[in-house]
Amino acid sequence: MAPPNNRRPGFSRRAQYGLFISYMIAGGGVLVGAVLLLLSMFNPPAYAAVRGAFSELVTPIASGLDWTRRGISSVPGGISGYFGVRGENERLRAEVTANRVLVEQARSTTLENRRLRQLLKVRDRAADPVVAARLVYSTASSTRRFATLNAGSWQGVRPGQPVRGPNGLIGRIVEVSPNTARVLLIQDPESIVPVRRLRDGLPAIAAGRGDGLIEIRSAGAAQVLFEPGDAFVTSGTGGVFPPNIAVARVRRRSRDIAEAAPLASPDSLDFALVQQPFFPEAGPTTGGARAPEAAPR
């Protein structure tokens, strides 16, 4: 026998009350939805106020539920992060131990070099600064690249002295007047600077191109591969530019001749430092040979 279509909850008061309450909630929801729909159609400002009130009531509850959800979902990540931190700590400890060995080796090498220098009586030369002057003019749009300093012979500036900025080499002095000096920039086609590659000491020549860039050419080896980011510093060869001044950085990968960008741009500098040459030229001797004393009669 088929069951009847109209199912009643029977004589259970709880079931009857539950069914009645569900009907009331459904009817109330339909009524509230209809009221809100009519309110949004005929009175949008009032509907916006009601919506804002509901948002104010619902937002703290939603925030609390979201915080609870995030806290529960972060438990597995916290556990895995704990074990990951332990592994990372072990790796860092091993790295510190290996670095300690390298530091001890470097320290012993430094001490050995110092002892050998003392035995050989080797003395490091340092280029003394002459004056800090303002860069008042630079030819950025011409094929010849020059700059002008507001310091000259009255301030101790002489031709051949190197000029550098905080980021690297700028050029060298070529002309001097009492209160101004002309600087040949390293981007000029007539500029040639002996350099070396920073990562392996490869000797090279940095020559200006006249378009704001520099060409790096190997000074000895052939088929040299230049990688992007290779940094070049002055080598001290020639006795003009002191060693270890930043010059340029290679822009793209190439072989034999690399295109590099200078690290110091005179167009963005206000001041520059004029230094003594690394090996200044020897001046004329003032003392001649001592005259022999007259023989007594």
Strands, E, within 112-202: which ranges?
129-138, 146-149, 162-164, 169-176, 181-185, 192-197
pLDDT score for 290? 45
Compute and round to an integer the Cα radius of gyration of the chain. Answer: 41
Fold type of domain 129-275: Thrombin, subunit H (2.40.10)
pLDDT score for 292? 43
Average pLDDT over residues 10-37: 75
Cα distances from 212 to residues 165, 251, 273, 281, in angstroms, run 16, 13, 21, 31
Q: Coil, strand, or helix at residue 177?
A: coil
Q: Where are the chain's structural domains?
A: 17-123, 129-275
pLDDT single digits (tens) 276-290? 888 765 544 444 444
Nearby residues of 186 by Cβ (< 8 Å), 6 or more positions away: 169, 170, 171, 193, 206, 208, 214, 247, 248, 262
161/145: higher pLDDT: 161
- Place 162 in a pLDDT band, splitting at 50, 70 and 90: very high
pLDDT score for 52? 67
Q: Determine contact, residues 182/146, Cβ cutoff 8 Å.
A: yes
Beta pairing partners, 101: none
Nearest-angstrom CA–CA distance, 225 and 218 = 10
Q: Using the 8-state DSSP alphabet, how is residue 7 labeled?
A: -
Q: Determine contact, residues 155/130, Cβ cutoff 8 Å.
A: yes
Beta pairing partners, 271: 134
pLDDT score for 127? 62
pLDDT single digits (tens) 75-110? 777 777 777 777 788 888 888 888 887 887 788 788
Q: Coil, strand, or helix at residue 250?
A: strand
Average pLDDT over residues 199-224: 85
pLDDT score for 195? 92
13-42 vs 44-120: helix crossing angle, rounded to 10: 90
pLDDT score for 286? 44
Q: Determine contact, residues 154/130, Cβ cutoff 8 Å.
A: no
Average pLDDT over residues 245-255: 89
Nearest-angstrom CA–CA distance, 146 and 168 = 16
Q: Determine contact, residues 180/150, Cβ cutoff 8 Å.
A: yes
What's the chain's average pLDDT? 78
Burial of 96 (0-12, 13-18, 19+ CB in 10 A): exposed
214/7: higher pLDDT: 214
